[in-house]
Chains A and B, each alone.
Chain A
């Protein structure tokens, strides 16, 4: 998968200085005490969480609502500089997980650490360092985007609007009109800008491309790729498998409140099957391919054969090479198909 600027621009993964903003007019240098250790200190001696500490770590995180399932025993670890997908259908527990991480919901059991800090005890310190886009972004609709950003900036102790105006240009957002007069997609742009404008270390995004037109979705994915390249961490909740597949390094699949699987996207793809379709010059024996390991759903009508193959492709290629091949098509499964292998079709995902 294409990666952004990588560690060259990533102050957190190298032993270079980490900039800490006391406010907009004051930038303090932080010296790394130990790259692999557990503590960093700022110039004034303030303890900082270590670069090696996961950005997010949950241990048996559970949230029950009155008589309803929320999430159950969710244990995940999101490394710094990673784009981590949180994939599941509506109602699976994605939003509950994010809202519990943000301390909007108090866990029924288990705990969550963000930057090595307890998500409840240090909630305010954590929220100063992250940007969040809720699943249904809403704010005082009488405010313009600029006024809303000004409020966010003041609440974050900033003197200006950070990179808000530049992001506004990039997303072609109207920062002057009252938010209530904007379309859903344009409101979502304001939501994305407020999540990013203060240059957070961690982005929590819940269905971020909802309402965005295809061009803006592309722009958003580019922004996320750049953000990762410059050292940012992203926790991306989505039910859009293609979106997750394009930007995420790893993905957790959540089903009915439980994490069903956590896997690198590349590995996830690699572990699954391929669709193979071959046209031969002359008819072939069906049994010749049926006997190969990992072949399923084989269809053969003489000179054309199609099947799914799980695992290595080498036996298929060698078997086909014994004949004259006119055409061969190898198709990777979509993430949706992979997703369905985890979920089972009966889930209706």
Chain B
């Protein structure tokens, strides 16, 4: 038999090995998760960054025409989309990118990242392998959340840097502080929607359903906020939308209470998700 020619490695003596402490497990999960997300972070960061850089670089050449067009907008639309502030490069970038595209894109990224690392892994049978390691389910879902939070921060950082550099090269007097506030302001929003996805993953077994629920909440909240801004009579319902608290950080700076409130709700959703995830069966 060929085994005779193989190295005569002895099967090692079994060891009574204690479980590592949970921070060590969490570090392992986060490290692995970030490596898995490397390509996504680059793709999303470059895509949003290039788009933002393009918008920033053309601003000087379209500034006058933008102001003329903006004057013709109905007042409610100006309010809703921040058109009235397009006389500044920060206001223009907020209206073009950060009022809709970036929050929706990053929210979707966060939802998909959480669903993939939890129910997606469950559907593919990978959780059977991962949860045979001394990793608790709470650590697993918390790790997925942290990976998503870091990935979103990195994507936003790339986007912000590219916007700032393009705007400066184009000769605008863009404010570094407002650009930083703009990209940082999206972050708690992504934490909240990551929390929504985590909560759904804590209870459900289908990645498609979890993604659908998260995306539905994201779009629904945006629609509620938009409706409230367009129709003053609907303004009271805006309290239920995260976008009301998101505001316009690129234009107005960050409201610390809203920032912490959104992030806090995201973390609370994660805590609830961890309890649910711990109690349910893992199927495959």
Residues of A within 8 A of B (CB): 9, 11-12, 18-23, 30, 46, 48, 99, 102-106, 123-125, 127-132, 134, 136-140, 142, 151-152, 154-157, 162-163, 166-167, 169-170, 172, 191, 194, 196, 198-202, 204, 215, 218-219, 222-223, 226-227, 230-232
Contact = CB atoms under 8 A, between A and B. Distances in A.
27 contacts: A11-B13, A21-B15, A21-B17, A104-B281, A106-B281, A123-B136, A125-B19, A127-B131, A127-B133, A128-B19, A138-B126, A138-B129, A139-B126, A139-B129, A139-B130, A152-B133, A154-B28, A155-B28, A155-B135, A156-B20, A157-B24, A170-B7, A202-B14, A215-B3, A230-B13, A232-B11, A232-B14
A11 B27 CA distance: 33
B28 A151 contact: yes
B15 to A, nearest CB: 4
A99 B132 CA distance: 9
B68 interface: no
A140 B124 CA distance: 9
Contact of A218 (B3, B7, B32, B131): B3
Interface string B22-33: 001101110110
A129 B9 contact: no
Contacts of A226: 10-11
Contact of A169 (B7, B127, B282): B7
Given A104-B131, A105-B281, A155-B25, A170 B9 contact: yes
Closest 8 CB pairs of A and B: A157-B20, A128-B19, A132-B132, A154-B28, A128-B134, A226-B11, A166-B9, A134-B128
Interface in B79-133: 124-133
Contact of A102 (B11, B14, B31, B131): B131
Given A127-B134, A128-B134, A155 B29 contact: yes
Contacts of B131: 102-104, 127
Contact of A124 (B129, B130, B136): B136
A25 B10 CA distance: 21
Given A127-B132, A155-B25, A162-B12, A134 B17 contact: no
A201 B9 contact: no
B132 A134 contact: yes
A52 to B, nearest CB: 15
A124 B135 CA distance: 6
Contacts of B24: 154, 157
A170 B4 CA distance: 11
Interface of B: 1-3, 6-7, 9-21, 24-25, 27-29, 31-32, 36, 124-136, 279-282, 284
Contacts of B6: 169-170, 172, 219
A257 to B, nearest CB: 16
Given A22-B18, A128-B19, A170-B7, A230 B12 contact: yes
Contacts of B32: 151, 154
A124 B128 contact: no
Nearest to B39: A142
Contacts of A215: 1-3
A217 B28 CA distance: 32
A20 B13 CA distance: 11
A226 B12 CA distance: 9
Contacts of A218: 1, 3
A105, A128, A131, A137: most-surrounded residue (chain B CB, <10 A): A128
A142 B158 CA distance: 25
Contacts of B19: 124-125, 127-128, 157
B27 A154 contact: yes
B133 A140 contact: no
A289 B135 CA distance: 64
Contacts of A155: 20, 25, 28-29, 130, 133-135
B133 to A, nearest CB: 4
Given A104-B281, A138-B124, A154 B13 contact: no
Contacts of A129: 16-17
